[in-house]
């Protein structure tokens, strides 16, 4: 059901919000628990849709899952893991991308896996060819089924050499989760090394895995016989932290983000300061604020870690509509992440999209007809409007735009935002936002 939020803009956000664990880590650690022969405990877990979907999928496979929402503690006991009824798994169809990561662990534990058709944000084609190629290299066979795919390995899964055509986060996780108890050594080249990946490696190492990350982003995994359960506190959500930072900047306010970690956000913090934002790092997190004066336009390019995270881009674009001059954004990770700018232009922004690579180097999308570069001319006065949320990060960007705009906005489809931002309406109210949830 699409929920609508009425927002009265023009008020600076002031106050404190508390960050919890990273959306793009916790669900992967939950999948990793299947590999253990005892219970796992994950802390700092946010109450978001991905956690719900993965919990449901784990329970459908016979795992015991309990989640204390107040404490943010999730316990998983995979002892009675078993093959589910396909019809039950179908109910999870189309609601998340995480199920694809169940492949390796389920084939190891049950000899086969059935993965429903995936969901996830519509910001590009979101193929899984790297994942399937990686699984085949381990010795898995893949059958297309009506609502998904069946993966099995008659001769088991064996260590192999995998080179990723692109440092895909998901394909790196797929390889890590399959290689840990595969028979032999696996070498993964051109791997992703995002902080969320490194925290997944921390979890797997706690479980008994042997994984080394080399300076050239080559990851070597020595397969071991078995793994045990883990206890782990998730790293904080750097994508959510940057979203609140832009909410503070675009509304001329000041927001203390408890739990934000400077070392995961270095690149973002540099850009935030260069456009005229400011921040204080303290023992409890990071306080982001608008120090006064004009915001400055800037050229930025998204990239894999330690580059500018693509999930930071959409909220930053809203801040750039308030910056003096022309800002240029070259999105090199997803081919279709600028669809959300139409609604911003409807609110008074001046954003033009281009097929050309407007950045330091041509990317995979050059000459492929994707409008993956944007030029933002500012500052522009934003006026309230009726807008529909297309994806998670764009959705939060619309909230920022509506908060910064003059007048009233009706933002529909805000339930999509709940996928990644726990209790965001309460957080907005605590920061003084003038909002009303319309059923």
Residues 129, 143, 356, 426: which binds ligand EPZ (CB under 6 A)? 129
Position among 109, 131, 372, 427 found at the interface with ligand EPZ (CB under 6 A)? 131
Is position 126 an interface residue for ligand EPZ (rule: CB under 6 A)?
Answer: yes
**Catalytic entry in 63, 103, 121, 357:** 121
Interface with ligand EPZ, residue 311, by CB under 6 A: yes
> Which of 171, 286, 351, 416 is close enough to bind ligand EPZ by CB under 6 A?
171
Using the contact rule CB under 6 A, the part of the chain among 8-16, 119-127, 137-145, 375-383 near ligand EPZ is: 119-127
Q: Which residue is nearest to ligand EPZ (CB)?
A: 170
Binding flag, residue 169, ligand EPZ (CB under 6 A): yes
- Is 232 near ligand EPZ (CB under 6 A)? no
Q: Which of 124, 325, 339, 407 binds ligand EPZ (CB under 6 A)?
A: 124
CA 102 remoteness from chain centre: 18
Q: Which of 40, 95, 160, 168 binds ligand EPZ (CB under 6 A)?
A: 168
Nearer to ligand EPZ, 195 or 277 (CB): 195
Quickly list H helices, 33-120: 49-60, 86-90, 103-110
Taking Cα atoms as reference points, which of 140, 72, 73, 66 lies closest to residue 100? 140
73: nearest Cα among 182, 247, 209, 233: 233
Write the DSSP string, 58-74. HHHTT-EEEEETTTTEE
Nearer CB in complex with ligand EPZ: 128/162: 128
Question: What residues contact 52, with CB distance under 8 A and at least 6 apart?
Answer: none
Q: Taking Cα atoms as reference points, which of 389, 387, 361 lies closest to residue 373?
A: 361
Residues 270-309 that bind ligand EPZ (CB under 6 A): none
Shortest Cβ 335–ligand EPZ spacing (Å) = 6
Q: How far apart are the first and last CA of the chain?
A: 9
Please give the order of strands across the beta sheet that includes 278-282: 14-18, 254-258, 285-289, 278-282
- The pair of three-digit structure tokens given for residue 38, joined into one six-digit string: 């005892």
**Residue 257 binding ligand EPZ, by CB under 6 A:** no
- The residue (of 80 and 367) whose beta carbon lies closer to ligand EPZ is 367
How are beta strands 148-152 and 112-116 bridged, if at all?
antiparallel
For 239-288, give the DSSP string. HHHHHHHHHHHHTT-EEEEET--GGGSHHHHHHHHHTT-EEEEETTEEEE
156 binds ligand EPZ (CB under 6 A): no
- Which position among 71, 111, 166, 426 is part of the footprint of ligand EPZ (CB under 6 A)? 166
Q: Which stretch binds ligand EPZ (CB under 6 A): 54-62, 137-145, 166-174, 198-206?
A: 166-174
Q: Does 31 bind ligand EPZ (CB under 6 A)?
A: no
Least Å from the CB of residue 365 to ligand EPZ: 9
Instruction: Give the CA distances from residue 123 to residues 99, 163, 262, 310, 330, in Å, rounded to whole numbers and listed in that order.
Output: 18, 25, 27, 11, 15
Alpha carbons 377 and 329: distance in angstroms, whole number:
12
What distance in Å separates the CA atoms of residue 201 and residue 220, rounded to the nearest whole number? 11
186 vs 310, which CB is nearer to ligand EPZ? 310
Q: Which is nearer to ligand EPZ, 323 or 329 (CB)?
A: 329
Handedness of CA 67, 68, 74, 78 (dihedral sign): negative
- Rule CB under 6 A: is residue 21 a binding residue for ligand EPZ? no
Between CA 264 and CA 412 the distance in angstroms is: 32
Of 57-65, 102-110, 139-147, 165-173, which segment contacts ligand EPZ by CB under 6 A? 165-173
Count residues near ligand EPZ (CB under 6 A). 27
User: According to the binding rule CB under 6 A, does residue 139 interact with ligand EPZ?
Assistant: no
Give the whole-angstrom CA distance, residue 301 versus residue 358. Answer: 8
> Binder to ligand EPZ among 265, 320, 333, 387 (CB under 6 A)?
333
Say whether 121 is catalytic: yes
Does residue 130 belong to the site contacting ligand EPZ (CB under 6 A)?
A: yes
Distance, in Å, from the CA atom of 70 to the CA atom of 420, rounded to the nearest integer, reads 17
Q: Does 128 participate in binding ligand EPZ (rule CB under 6 A)?
A: yes
Instruction: Supply the residues annotated as catalytic.
Output: 121
Binding site for ligand EPZ (CB under 6 A): 23-24, 97, 121, 124-131, 166, 168-171, 192, 194, 239, 310-311, 333-334, 392-393, 420
């Amino acid at each position: 059901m699409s929920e609508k939020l009425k927002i009265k803009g023009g008020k600076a956000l002031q106050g404190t919000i508390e960050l919890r664990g990273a959306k793009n880590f916790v669900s992967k650690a939950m999948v990793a628990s299947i590999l253990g022969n005892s219970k796992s405990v994950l802390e700092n877990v946010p109450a978001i849709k991905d956690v719900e979907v993965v919990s449901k999928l784990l329970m459908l496979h016979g795992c015991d899952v309990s989640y204390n929402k107040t404490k943010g503690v999730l316990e998983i006991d995979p002892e009675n893991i078993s093959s589910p009824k396909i019809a039950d798994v179908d109910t999870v169809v189309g609601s998340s991308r995480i199920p694809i990561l169940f492949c390796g662990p389920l084939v190891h534990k049950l000899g086969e896996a059935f993965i429903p058709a995936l969901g996830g944000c519509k910001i590009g084609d979101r193929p899984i060819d790297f994942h399937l190629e990686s699984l085949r290299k381990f010795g898995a066979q893949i059958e297309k089924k009506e609502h998904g795919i069946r993966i099995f390995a008659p001769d088991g899964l064996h260590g192999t050499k995998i080179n990723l055509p692109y440092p895909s986060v998901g394909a790196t996780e797929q390889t890590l989760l399959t290689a840990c108890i595969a028979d032999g050594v696996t070498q993964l080249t051109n791997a992703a090394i995002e902080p969320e990946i490194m925290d997944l490696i921390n979890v797997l190492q706690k479980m008994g895995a042997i994984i080394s990350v080399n300076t050239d982003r080559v990851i070597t995994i020595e397969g071991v016989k078995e793994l045990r359960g883990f206890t782990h506190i998730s790293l904080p959500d750097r994508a959510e932290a940057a979203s609140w930072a832009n909410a503070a900047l675009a509304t001329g306010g000041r927001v203390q983000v408890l739990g934000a970690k400077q070392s995961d956000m270095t690149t973002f913090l540099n850009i935030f300061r260069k456009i005229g934002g400011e921040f204080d790092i303290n023992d409890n997190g990071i306080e982001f604020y608008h120090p006064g004066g004009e915001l400055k336009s800037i050229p930025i390019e998204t990239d894999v870690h330690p580059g500018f995270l693509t999930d930071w881009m959409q909220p930053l674009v809203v801040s750039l509509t308030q910056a003096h001059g022309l800002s240029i954004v070259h999105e090199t990770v997803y081919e279709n992440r600028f669809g959300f700018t139409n609604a911003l232009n409807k609110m008074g922004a001046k954003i033009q999209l281009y097929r050309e690579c407007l950045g330091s180097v041509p990317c995979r999308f050059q000459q492929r007809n994707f409008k993956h570069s944007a030029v933002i001319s500012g500052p522009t006065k934003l006026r309230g409007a009726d807008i529909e949320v297309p994806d998670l990060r764009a959705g939060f960007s619309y909230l920022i735009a509506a908060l910064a705009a003059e007048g009233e906005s009706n933002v529909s489809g805000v339930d999509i935002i709940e996928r990644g931002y726990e209790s965001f309406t309460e957080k907005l109210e605590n920061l003084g936002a003038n909002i009303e949830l319309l059923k």
